[in-house]
Amino acid sequence: MINDLMYIELKSGYSDNGPAWIGRVKVSKTGKTIYFNNRGFQKNIGYCSNYIDIETGEEYWISGLKKNQYNRHWAGYGKIIIDKKVVDEYLQYIGEEKLDLTHYVIADIKDEFPVERIHRFLNDRNIG
C-alpha cells in the first residue's frame, strides 16, 4: 500500500462547495482503490467527480495536492479540513510557515483504512 497526502471533496449533493479534506490516504497496490477516513473509493468518472464511494455510491473528487493551494474548483468555496497529523508536511510541500485558518480547519482525522471491509463488500457484491 502506498501512503500519500491527497485532497478529497464530496461532490454528491453539492456543487463545488462540498466538504473537503486534506489527509493521509492509502492506495491499493493496483492503484484502483483509495482508502481514507474509513471509506473506500474507486475510479469512476462522473459529471464533476473522478471517484465513487464503493459502499454508498457518493461521488467525490480526489486528487494530488496543488502547491498553489487552489485545490478546490475555481467556483468552489468553503474551508478545507486538514488532518492535524499532516499540517507540517503540507506546509513544507506548499512552502509556507503557517496555515491560513481562513481557508483551513485543523481536525483529528483518524487513520482508518477499511481494506478488509471493502474487500468483503466487493466480493459479496460480485457473488450476489
pTM beyond 0.75: the answer is yes
The better pLDDT of the pair 15, 83 is held by 83
11: its cell numbers: 461532490
Provide the pLDDT for residue 6: 96
Long-range contacts of 97-106 (CB under 8 A, 24+ apart): 103/69, 103/79, 104/22, 104/79, 104/80, 105/79, 105/80, 105/81, 106/81, 106/82
pLDDT tens-digit map of 54-111: 999 999 999 999 999 999 888 888 999 999 999 999 999 999 999 999 999 999 999 9
pLDDT at 42: 96
What is the overall mean pLDDT for the chain?
92
pLDDT of 2: 59
115 to each of 11, 20, 25, how far by Cα in Å? 23, 22, 12
Q: Parse the chain into domains and list their residue ranges.
A: 2-127
Mean of pLDDT values over 5-29: 93
pLDDT given for residue 16 in this prediction: 84
Asked if 69 and 80 count as a contact pair (C-beta separation under 8 A), the reply is no
Strand partners, 9: 20, 61
Whether the predicted pLDDT of 128 surpasses 60: no
